[in-house]
């Protein structure tokens, strides 16, 4: 609202305003520093996971007084924020302000309305945090083990509080909690012993650690057993319901569109994609299917052509080298078409995926945490070594000649990696911690289309058809998530959507069903962010006509860091209006 008011200002009013504006940035920067220090005191486990290790030895017992502390923290900081006049803040600080405010309101909402601490037993699991203490190399093993020991003390009380919190949990999250707690227990049963063998602690100290680990194991096993026997006559549905879903969408996505609007857009987009895909598949039919008779069902026709095109893929042993080869080709194309400046001093380091990630294949970006300033950013490329023939073939058809290129655009250049390089130019700890997932994923999805529209892949029909299939995945993720959580979509209908309308493999679709029954809203982030960025770009094109410049748009857009698209849009529009006046 405030930004709109700035746009509406007349010249005279604005000049007067500007002279009265007090620069509040130094004060706000100080406030942010304090805010994060306090945040870590309230959430020490989160601090550790972000690479801030001052509170490694603290395990918060998730009882009512811990929640009161969170609420008090949120309230106090929402009050503190009121002291700042947005007009006196830089754009970077304005977006930080909005993101802190959203985080605080989200804390209040989670405790007061969402209340998943009552119905999601998988929120209680200490194993991952303790495993990280053993695996991380941020400090000597001696120090990490001693923190490990102190932190274990609260484990029994932690699970006692968990049992007190739980009321009518969902069947799905109960099962997940049992599996994950029992599965993670090896940290205390096995990994800890191995670590103890590597240090020169006295016998007495080692025995104390072992004894406490035994208590931890009893508590974890006890929790799993308690869940198994839980007399849960009226389990809550895993479906979130319309009201909570709309609210969670607001806090997690922070979109200019509502959940309902995004769902409508996804439905329309799916229809549009199907039409475009049919036109292409129909055109390609003879080339790939020879004289075979065309099926009357359009979706079946599309699927048959897609299956044929997917056969074009690299050999398993060339998977990694092919990905490495494509990176410079993407950079070259972007330069030639003048799409965005790529900083040559920050080339992407491509590496074979480290062992602890092995088995995932594909490709992913590893960026250093917010406290790890000297860390490298890597492009991890998986290898298909040791995969059996059938599995490798199925995987390679999925990541065929065309999709592999789109994957590189998404993950690396100009997708996630390029966005990261730009966001590091206006460093913000707030954005590193609360970075908006819809903006980050939306940008990567947006660049796929932008690259093809700019002529990447020579406008080949096959490339576009495969791209549409890929884009259909993000689109149908949104339809699935919204439909399952707010419209009671059955598993059968969900699988039909994914397999027959989005052309996914049965196994992939089953996996997606599991994911949607355990998470809410996150599956919408890709399509929502993409839609917002694309719509905004088209809006600007209309406004600026001949003056619109794609490269300038991209660079300006990314200069705001990982902020929600709706704020970037407001700030960009406000600035354009100011320069115009
Ligand atoms: Zn093959
Ligand atoms: Zn992504």
Q: Which ligand is nearest to the CA of 389?
A: 1
SS (H, E, C) 264-277: HHHHHHHHHHHHHH
Q: Which ligand is nearest to the CA of 316?
A: 1
| CA 390 to ligand 1 center in whole angstroms | 9
Residue 1 pLDDT class (50, 70, 90 cuts): very low
| CA 414 to ligand 2 center in whole angstroms | 12
Q: What are the tens digits of pLDDT across the range 170-196?
A: 999 999 999 999 999 999 999 999 999
pLDDT for residue 361 is more than 90? no
Residue 358 pLDDT class (50, 70, 90 cuts): low
The distance from CA 226 to its chain's CA centroid, rounded to whole angstroms, is 33
| pLDDT of 522 | 95
| pLDDT of 109 | 98
Average pLDDT score over residue span 355-369 = 72
- When mean pLDDT is compared across 136-140, 198-202, 501-505, the lowest value belongs to 136-140
For residue 268, give every residue at least 6 positions away whose Cβ sits within 8 Å of its Cβ, in sequence order, or none: none
pLDDT for residue 245 is more than 50? yes
| pLDDT of 21 | 82
Beta bridge partners of 365: 379
pLDDT for residue 319 is more than 60? yes
CA distance 513 to 504: 12
| CA 404 to ligand 1 center in whole angstroms | 14
CA distance 256 to 259: 10
β strands within 117-236, DSSP E: none
Q: Which ligand is nearest to the CA of 394?
A: 1
| CA 80 to ligand 2 center in whole angstroms | 35
Return the sign of the alpha-carbon dihedral for residues 133, 134, 139, 141. Answer: positive
Calculate ∠ Cα 72-76-82, nearest 5°.
150
Contact 173, 237 (CB under 8 A): no
The highest-confidence range among 267-281, 348-362, 370-384, by mean pLDDT, is 267-281
Residue 20 pLDDT class (50, 70, 90 cuts): confident
pLDDT for residue 4 is more than 60? no
pLDDT for residue 383 is more than 90? no
| CA 502 to ligand 1 center in whole angstroms | 21
> 99-135 burial, b if ≥16 CB within 10 A, otherwise e?
bbebbbebbebbbeebebbebbbbbbbbbebbbbbee
Instruction: Say what percent of the chain tops pLDDT 70.
Output: 95
Average pLDDT score over residue span 213-240 = 97
Stated as kind and residue range, the H or E segment containing 307 is helix 298-309
For residue 575, give every residue at least 6 positions away whose Cβ sits within 8 Å of its Cβ, in sequence order, or none: 91
| pLDDT of 13 | 46
Average pLDDT score over residue span 270-287 = 98
Coil, strand, or helix at residue 350?
Answer: strand
For residue 212, give every residue at least 6 positions away whose Cβ sits within 8 Å of its Cβ, in sequence order, or none: 149, 152, 153
Q: What are the tens digits of pLDDT across the range 430-459?
A: 998 999 999 999 999 999 999 999 999 999
Query: Which of 420, 415, 326, 429 has its CA nearest to residue 371?
Result: 429
| CA 317 to ligand 1 center in whole angstroms | 13
CA distance 559 to 569: 12
Instruction: Say what percent of the chain tops pLDDT 90.
Output: 82
Tokens of 437: 């997932």
| CA 404 to ligand 2 center in whole angstroms | 14
| pLDDT of 19 | 61
Place of tokens 């919190």: 165
- Residues around ligand 2, an ion, CB closer than 5 A: 441, 444
Q: Quick count: other Cβ atoms within 10 Å of Cβ 480? A: 25
Tokens of 386: 């040791």
Phi and psi at residue 486, to the nearest 5° = -125, -15
| pLDDT of 578 | 83
CA distance 478 to 194: 44
Calculate ∠ Cα 409-414-419, nearest 5°.
125
| CA 388 to ligand 1 center in whole angstroms | 13
| pLDDT of 296 | 96
| CA 19 to ligand 1 center in whole angstroms | 68
| CA 174 to ligand 2 center in whole angstroms | 29
Q: What are the tens digits of pLDDT across the range 531-545?
A: 999 999 999 999 999
DSSP string covering 123-168: G---HHHHHHHHH--SS-HHHHHHHHHHHHTTHHHHHHHHHHH--S
| CA 522 to ligand 2 center in whole angstroms | 12
| CA 411 to ligand 2 center in whole angstroms | 6
pLDDT for residue 576 is more than 50? yes
DSSP string covering 461-512: HHHHHHHHHHHHHHHHHHHHHHHHHHS---HHHHHHIIIIIS---HHHHHHH
| CA 327 to ligand 1 center in whole angstroms | 23
Q: Which ligand is nearest to the CA of 364?
A: 2
Stated as kind and residue range, the H or E segment containing 305 is helix 298-309
Pairing of strands 363-366, 378-381: antiparallel
Contact 66, 158 (CB under 8 A): no
Q: Quick count: other Cβ atoms within 10 Å of Cβ 560? A: 24
| CA 525 to ligand 2 center in whole angstroms | 10
Tokens of 454: 């700019």
For residue 281, give every residue at least 6 positions away whose Cβ sits within 8 Å of its Cβ, in sequence order, or none: 301, 302, 304, 305, 306, 465
| CA 439 to ligand 2 center in whole angstroms | 10
| CA 533 to ligand 2 center in whole angstroms | 15
CA distance 318 to 43: 45
> 412-434 burial, b if ≥16 CB within 10 A, otherwise e?
bbbbbbbbbbbbbebebebbbbb
| CA 108 to ligand 2 center in whole angstroms | 29
| CA 504 to ligand 1 center in whole angstroms | 17
Average pLDDT, the chain: 93
CA distance 190 to 127: 12
pLDDT for residue 44 is more than 50? yes
Q: Which ligand is nearest to the CA of 440?
A: 2
Average pLDDT score over residue span 337-353 = 88
| CA 399 to ligand 1 center in whole angstroms | 11
Average pLDDT score over residue span 12-20 = 53
CA distance 470 to 356: 28
pLDDT for residue 11 is more than 70? no
β strands within 442-495, DSSP E: none
| pLDDT of 367 | 82
CA separation, residue 232 to residues 124, 219, 235 (Å): 18, 21, 6
| CA 454 to ligand 1 center in whole angstroms | 30
| pLDDT of 351 | 85
β strands within 430-523, DSSP E: none
Tokens of 286: 């003879």
| pLDDT of 18 | 57
pLDDT for residue 477 is more than 80? yes
| Phi/psi-derived region of residue 290, left when phi > 0, alpha when psi is between -120 and 50, beta in every other case | left
Q: Quick count: other Cβ atoms within 10 Å of Cβ 38? A: 14
Q: What are the tens digits of pLDDT across the range 122-174?
A: 999 999 999 999 988 889 999 999 999 999 999 999 999 999 999 999 999 99
Q: What are the tens digits of pLDDT across the range 486-501?
A: 999 999 999 999 999 9
| CA 311 to ligand 1 center in whole angstroms | 5
pLDDT for residue 408 is more than 50? yes
Average pLDDT score over residue span 79-90 = 96
| CA 402 to ligand 1 center in whole angstroms | 14
| CA 249 to ligand 1 center in whole angstroms | 41
| CA 414 to ligand 1 center in whole angstroms | 29
Place of tokens 């993101």: 99
């Amino acid at each position: 609202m405030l930004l709109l008011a700035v746009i509406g200002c007349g010249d005279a009013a604005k000049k007067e305003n500007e002279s009265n504006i007090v620069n509040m940035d130094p004060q706000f920067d100080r406030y942010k520093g304090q805010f994060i220090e306090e945040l870590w005191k309230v959430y020490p486990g989160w601090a550790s996971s972000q690479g801030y290790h001052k509170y490694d030895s603290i395990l918060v017992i998730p009882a009512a007084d811990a929640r009161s502390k969170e609420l008090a923290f949120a309230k106090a900081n929402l009050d503190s924020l009121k002291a700042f006049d947005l007009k006196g803040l830089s754009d970077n600080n304005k977006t930080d302000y909005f993101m802190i405010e959203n985080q605080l309101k989200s804390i209040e909402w989670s405790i007061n309305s969402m209340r998943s601490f009552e119905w999601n037993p998988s929120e209680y699991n200490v194993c991952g945090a303790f495993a990280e203490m053993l695996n991380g190399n941020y400090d000597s093993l001696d120090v990490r083990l001693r923190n490990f020991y102190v932190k274990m003390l609260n484990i029994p009380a932690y699970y006692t509080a968990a049992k007190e919190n739980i009321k009518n949990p969902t069947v799905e999250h109960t099962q997940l909690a049992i599996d994950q707690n029992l599965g993670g227990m090896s940290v205390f049963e096995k990994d800890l012993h191995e670590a103890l063998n590597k240090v020169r602690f006295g016998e007495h100290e080692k025995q104390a650690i072992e004894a406490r680990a035994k208590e931890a194991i009893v508590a974890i096993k006890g929790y799993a057993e308690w869940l198994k026997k839980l007399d849960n006559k009226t389990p809550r549905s895993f479906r979130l319901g319309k009201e909570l879903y709309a609210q969670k969408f607001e806090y997690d996505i922070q979109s200019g569109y509502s959940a309902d609007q995004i769902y409508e857009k996804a439905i329309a987009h799916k229809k549009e994609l199907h039409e475009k895909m049919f036109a292409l598949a129909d055109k390609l039919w003879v080339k790939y299917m020879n004289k075979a008779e065309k099926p009357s069902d359009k979706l079946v026709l599309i699927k048959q052509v897609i299956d044929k095109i997917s056969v074009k893929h690299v050999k398993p042993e060339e998977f990694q080298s092919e990905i490495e080869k494509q990176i410079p080709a993407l950079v070259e194309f972007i330069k030639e078409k003048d799409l965005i400046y790529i900083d040559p001093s920050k080339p992407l380091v491509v590496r074979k995926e480290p062992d602890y990630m092995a088995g995932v294949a594909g490709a992913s970006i590893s960026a250093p945490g917010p406290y790890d300033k000297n860390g490298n950013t890597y492009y991890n490329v998986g290898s298909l070594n040791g995969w059996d023939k059938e599995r490798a073939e199925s995987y390679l058809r999925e990541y065929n000649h065309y999709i592999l290129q789109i994957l590189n655009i998404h993950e690396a250049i100009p997708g996630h990696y390029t966005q990261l390089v730009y966001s590091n130019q206006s460093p913000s700890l707030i954005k590193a911690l609360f970075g908006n997932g819809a903006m980050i994923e939306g940008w990567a999805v947006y660049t796929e289309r932008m690259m093809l529209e700019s002529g990447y892949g020579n406008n080949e029909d096959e490339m576009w058809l495969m791209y549409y299939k890929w884009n259909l995945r993000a689109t149908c993720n949104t339809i699935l998530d919204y439909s399952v959580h707010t419209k009671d979509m059955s598993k059968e209908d969900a699988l039909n959507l994914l397999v027959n309308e989005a052309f996914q493999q049965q196994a992939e679709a089953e996996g997606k069903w599991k994911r949607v029954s355990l998470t809410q809203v996150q599956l919408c982030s890709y399509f929502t962010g993409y839609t917002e960025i694309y719509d905004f770009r088209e809006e600007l094109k209309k406004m600026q006509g001949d003056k619109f410049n794609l490269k300038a748009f991209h660079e300006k857009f990314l200069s705001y860091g990982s902020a929600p698209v709706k704020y970037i849009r407001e700030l960009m529009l406000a600035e354009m209006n100011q320069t115009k006046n």
